[in-house]
């Protein structure tokens, strides 16, 4: 099973940008549809964005649509989340996850077979 490691989190002012990376090892990333979730303190983990295994289809939550972009470079075994126009409410631990087979139900955590350890994003006002 593939192992996932997120990086790129940090502290940024409102209106700023960050790019998160999720690097896979121990497997072939092209076998996996990928998603980003986030969890703020005291809240449940929520769906942020997803991308199909070939990178053809992407989906976003309403709260990040138009500000975040998910992409992937299968040659580098890496998935990215470009986050622009960040808001304080984007503060959370961000997790990447992957699942195999059909690209569906990507907004559901139980669909995912593997997860990274998370990276903290803090947006100051």
- Dump pLDDT digits (tens) for 17-73: 999 999 998 888 888 999 999 999 999 999 999 999 999 999 999 999 999 999 999
pLDDT (0 to 100) of residue 123: 98
**Pairing outcome for strands 58-60 and 68-73:** unpaired
pLDDT (0 to 100) of residue 29: 85
* Structure confidence by residue, pLDDT tens digits, 3-17: 999 999 999 999 999
pLDDT (0 to 100) of residue 121: 98
104 is written with which tokens? Answer: 């569906």
């Amino acid at each position: 099973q593939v192992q996932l490691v997120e990086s790129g989190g940090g502290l940024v002012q409102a209106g700023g940008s960050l790019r998160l990376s999720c690097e896979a090892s121990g497997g072939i990333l092209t076998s996996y549809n990928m998603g980003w979730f986030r969890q703020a303190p005291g809240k449940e983990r929520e769906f942020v964005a997803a991308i199909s295994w070939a990178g053809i289809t992407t989906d976003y939550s309403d709260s990040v649509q138009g500000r975040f972009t998910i992409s992937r470079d299968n040659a580098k075994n890496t998935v990215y989340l470009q986050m622009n126009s960040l808001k304080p409410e984007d503060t959370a631990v961000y997790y990447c996850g992957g699942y195999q087979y059909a690209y569906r139900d990507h907004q559901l955590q139980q669909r995912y077979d593997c997860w990274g350890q998370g990276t903290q994003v803090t947006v100051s006002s």
